[in-house]
Amino acid sequence: MNTRERFLEVMKNFNTSVPTMKWEFGYWGETINKWYKSGLPKENPAPIPREYTSPSSSIYTMSWTCENKYVAEGEYPNGFVHMAGGLYWPTQGFALDQDVRDYFGMDQTQQLVDLNLFFYPMFEPKVLEEDDEMLKYQDIDGVVRLFLKKSATMASGWEWPIKDWKSWEQLKEERINMDKIRERLPKNWAQKVKEYKNRDYPLGLGGYPLGFFGTLAHLIGYDKLFFMYYDEPKLVHDIIDTFTNLWIAVFEEVLAEVEIDHMQIWEDISFGSGCMLSDAIMREFMLPYYKRLTGFLKSHGVDLIFVDTDGYCMKIIPFFIEAGATGMFPFEVHCGMDVVKVRKEFPELAIMGGIPKSEIQKGKKRIDQILEPVKEVLKTGGYIPFGDHFIPPEVEWEDFKYYRTRLNEIIDRV
C-alpha cells in the first residue's frame, strides 16, 4: 500500500493489520540547526518558502524571510518549523522536511489543497516599522504582527482587522466576494487536479487558521473576542456564518474535481488546564456551524474530520464528536492528556500524537517508558503516534535517534 492507502486504512477503517504512519508533528528551526551540527546529514535542507500564495500557507512568511542578523547563514530562525507529516503542509510559511524523513525512512507528509479561505484579494504585506531588533508588519490576512528578531519565535498579533460592525462590513464588501470563488483556488489548479488524481499521499482541506473559534480569535484577537461573545453576539454569528458559507462554497468547487481524504479544523481552544470557552458559548456560537460544515463534507464523501487543539481537551471531546469531528490531535501529555484513557473512553475517535516531546531528552530508559502507551493504543487501530507538538531544541540528536528508531520498530511489528 502507498501512504494514502495506509492512512485511510488506519484512520478510517481502524485496520490493525496495516502499519500506521511514520510521522512527526514537526521540528522547530532551532532544533534542526542543532541536529545538523550533531550528526543529521545535511543532504536536502528545506528552503524557506518566499512566495505568498494564500493566507493558510503564507502567513508569517515576512517574519521568516526578513533580514535578521541573529540568524546565521545556512541556519533557520528559531521559530521556523519543518513539517513532518503529523501536521499538514503547506502552512504558515513553513518548510517541508526531507532530511529527517529520509534518515529514518519515514512516510510522505499529508498535504492540504492551498486555498484562500479568508480575504480575497489578500492584504498587501508591508513593513510598518523595522530595525535590527524587531519587525512590525501588516500580514496578508490583515493582521498587524510584531516579530522579535533575536528570539525569532512566532510573530505576535499587534492589531486585528475585525474590530466592530463597521470594520467587518467593510471587509465583507471588499474582500469576501462570493462571485469570485474560483479565484480562491491555486493559480495552477488544472495542473494540481492532475497531480491529485494520481497522488500517493493523503490530501486534506482546511488547516490553520480555519476554525469556528480559531478563525475568530485569529482575526479579532482573543481578549476582544471573549467580550464580543457577550457584547456583540449578532456580530459574532454574522462573522462565522459568513465564513462557513464561504468555506462550503470553496470546498464545493474542489470536491467537484478532486477526491479529498480528510478535513483539518484548527481551534487551539484549550490551554494547560482546560477549554477557554464555556459549554454554553460553544453550543451557541460553534455547534450549528460545525454541523453545517461537517454535514456538507460527509455528504461529499469526506469522512475523516480532525480537530487540532493544544492543551487539556478531555472534557470537550464529546462536544467535537457531536459536532461531527472523527479525530483529534496532538494530545499534549504535559497538560494531562493520556491517549490510553482517550482510546478507552472514545473507542471510535481517530487519534494522532500523544507522545510527550520534552521527555525524549531524558534518555533511553525514559524513552522506552513513554513508548509503552503507544503499543497499547496501536492495538486498537485509528492511531498515528508522534510527539505531542514540535520537537524542541532541548532534545539532542542522539536521543531523538533512539526514540524515532524504537518508535519505527514498534510500528513495523504490525
Residue 176 has a pLDDT of 96
- 96's CB contacts (< 8 A; 6+ apart) are 46, 82, 83, 89, 90, 109
Residue 177 has a pLDDT of 87
All three cell numbers of 378 = 496501536
Residue 96 has a pLDDT of 97
Query: What are the residue ranges spanned by the domains of the chain?
Result: 3-119+163-412
| % residues pLDDT > 70 (the chain) | 100
Give per-residue pLDDT as tens, 75-88: 999 999 999 999 99
Phi, psi of 229 (to 5 degrees): -55, -35
Mean pLDDT of 251-258: 98
Report the CATH fold assignment for 3-119+163-412: TIM Barrel (3.20.20)
pLDDT over threshold 80, residue 414: no
CB 286 within 8 A of CB 323: yes
Say how far apart CA 322 and CA 314 lie, in whole Å: 14
Give per-residue pLDDT as tens, 351-399: 999 999 999 999 999 999 999 999 999 999 999 999 999 999 999 999 9
Mean pLDDT of the chain: 98
Residue 134 has a pLDDT of 98
Mean pLDDT of 48-53: 97
Using alpha carbons, select from 294, 312, 295, 156 the residue that is nearest to residue 223. 156
Q: How many C-beta atoms surround the C-beta of residue 243 within 10 A?
A: 21
Say how far apart CA 147 and CA 266 lie, in whole Å: 22
Residue 312 has a pLDDT of 98
